[in-house]
Amino acid sequence: MNRRFALAFPWFLLALVVGIIVFDQSRVRDVIELPANAAVSPAGDVPVGSVRDLVCGMNVRPRTAYPLRIGSRTFYFCSTRCRDRFLEDPARWMRAPQARRGGHTMQGLPTWMYQASVAIVLLLSFGIFEFVSWRAGKRAPVVPAIAARKPLTAHPGVRRLLRRPGFQTSARLMMVAIFLFIIYAGLFGNQNPTMNIAPLLTWTIWWAGLIFLILYFGKAWCYVCPWDALATWLERLSLKSPRRSGLGLRLPWPRRMRNIWFAVILFVLLTWVELGMGITSIPRATAWVALIILGLAIVSALVFDRKSFCRYGCLVGRVSGLYALFSSLELRAEDEAVCRSCKTHDCFKGNDRGDGCPTFEFPRVMKESTYCILCTECLKTCPHDNIAIRARPWGADLAAMGKPRTDEAFLAIILLSMTGFHGLTMTPAWHAWNEALQRTLGIAPGLSFGLLMLGMLLLPIAFFALIARISARWS
């Protein structure tokens, strides 16, 4: 019963979330009618072709906005949330038609609630887990290992499909087409973010959806990644030719850089330009960020061996690798005894049926999904059919983790820090702190933003160091 529940729980949760979304959307009406004598006033001066959202201050296009009809007047909002907030107290927004500039803020969230939430998350993430691990000692891990589960690849049709050379290529071609469409829309389309699909597809659908994709389907994004696809095809001058042919120099990745610090730095920089420069609402900047990552992938493919960038340098791959520890899908060797008896190690070296592992993983000893990109090359090359893809409970890798790595630990802390920082920038207190710091130090807005971001970055690191020291003394 426990095994079945552990496997079914993620899908039950997904169905519940989808059901809530469908139910919520069914209650939304396109136009809400109010009495003609409602005490509200129209938006102030706005650019031609757009109107001001009275709640958040965003300029929106009437064709894509959410309308509210009041008598003979119609007002427009960027979302149903802003429209609903207006309906709660129309007089409040009537008294402040000069809606605040600078994007969305969580106006209904008190600052104390945000601060308390951050403290609770830090305590749960570090304090309680450290205490539990100290109490557990050498007892069995919290997440049970489930050995008796039938692999998804046990179905002959699934295994044949994944082994077919053209299957991954076809999937990647579709993703590359979408990627190039986003680039074109970002560079040459309407630069009004409400009229350009590039920011929506990139920052709202893909970046947020990536987390849920990994939780349910592992590193499926890496399987269809357009950056890696274009870089690989360019290096090989072909869609299907093996790794042994191509233009690449195939130099080893520098030994001192065989960690993920480069990816960590890229992630912090991306967060800074995302929040500090507001590139999520700038279509052209969104396209350039995608092109920069593509350039890094191409340079790595032409210079270094295998897919070194995927393992060491890709910020998306490293963030998804962290989330993959919680995924409900894994690729593993089925029988370690079969691996030990194998003399050719084709899964690592490659053969005429496929390449060796592009991220230098050895399935025989692989216990985590952090660096596996689910390319299925080992599934193609294994002469013993000893590689399988199977379902598992969430967080199973946490029970099998080996010696912790400093760079991976810092990425986890930084990811937590930047998530909290992202929420902080949407609170009313953020603008007050930012302006106060500018006045006190006499510095530019960009510098004050960077200093506050640095403080938010260092706070969880200091807290974790404190908890770790206390835990070490207790043990």
Q: What is the pTM for the complete model shown?
A: 0.76
138: CB partners within 8 A, 6+ apart? none
For residue range 349-362, what is the model confidence (pLDDT) as tens digits? 999 899 999 999 99
pLDDT beyond 80 at 475: no
Closest to 219 (Cα-Cα) out of 329, 362, 334 = 329
Q: Strand 66-70 to strand 73-77: parallel, antiparallel, or no bridges (unpaired)?
A: antiparallel
In the chain, domain spans: 51-89, 148-391
The total of other beta-carbon atoms located within 10 Å of residue 198's CB is 25
**CB-based contact 358:232 (threshold 8 Å):** no
How does residue 23 score in pLDDT terms, banded at 50, 70 and 90? low
Helix axes 445-474, 261-276, angle to 10 degrees: 140
pLDDT beyond 50 at 148: no
For residue range 327-384, what is the model confidence (pLDDT) as tens digits? 989 999 999 899 999 999 999 999 989 999 999 999 988 989 999 999 999 999 999 9
- Between CA 421 and CA 208 the distance in angstroms is 16
